[in-house]
Chain A
Amino acid sequence: MAHPLTIALFGITRDIVGASSLTLSIEKSTDVDSLLDQLRAQYPRLTELNSLLVAVNSEYAEGNQLLKKGDEIALIPPVSGG
């Protein structure tokens, strides 16, 4: 069953998408890599970034991590603090 997933966006990803968050409908067994594939297909400029990670509940996620309903998701483009 599909469920909605809201993704928080920062920095260059916010500029590319043109919003500070976006909501996707994902299948129950979607993992991080397939979420990224879906987003890169929808927003090709994401493929130009040096790196693109996903944070799940404020932790960097591996590609095979499954996304659960209620997870707090964010796209993490290359960080540049300091």
Chain B
Amino acid sequence: MILLTHQPIDVPAVMAHVQTGSAGAVDIFIGTVRNQTQQKRVVRLEYEAYEPMALKKMQELVDEVRRRWPVEQVAIVHRVGVLDIGEAAVVIAVSTPHRAEAFEACRWLIDTLKEVVPIWKKEVFEDGEVWVAAHA
């Protein structure tokens, strides 16, 4: 399952997607919208994606994670649009036979997604806004 969505992410549905009879472990990472950054109150986040390329890069991550770990099922769902505090921005779920691989594969997926997938996050404060990581 690889998805960009403007709607709230259905976390139980993502988890159900990766559950299989042969998996002894499901690891799920949920990235959520935090209410502050560097002591500044965040009002909301706005995400945008270069959608065709983002989906292609997410598929490449899935292909690579399957090469590296004995993954049974994997799901990557990323939200785009305006998100309020506490909402899930990204959900990654991985099932494997044993837990160690599930933790490693899931962590590799979120770390690599943050480096290569063309998605951008704007933090909106009470008195301004900033594209995260754009400037030093």
Binding site for B on A (CB under 8 A): 8, 10-12, 15, 48-50, 55, 58-60, 74, 76-82
Contact = CB atoms under 8 A, between A and B. Distances in A.
Contacts of A78: 133-134
Q: B interface, by DSSP: helix, strand, loop or mixed?
A: mixed
B17 interface: no
Interface of B: 31, 47-50, 52-54, 56, 78, 89-90, 110, 113-122, 131-136
B135 A74 contact: no
Contacts of A59: 53, 56
A55 B90 CA distance: 23
A49 B78 CA distance: 25
A80 B50 contact: no
Contact of A10 (B31, B56, B117, B120): B120
12 contacts: A12-B120, A12-B134, A15-B131, A50-B134, A74-B118, A76-B50, A77-B131, A77-B134, A79-B115, A80-B119, A81-B89, A82-B90
Nearest to A14: B48
Contact of B118 (A12, A50, A55): A55
Contact of A80 (B54, B110, B120, B136): B120
A52 to B, nearest CB: 10
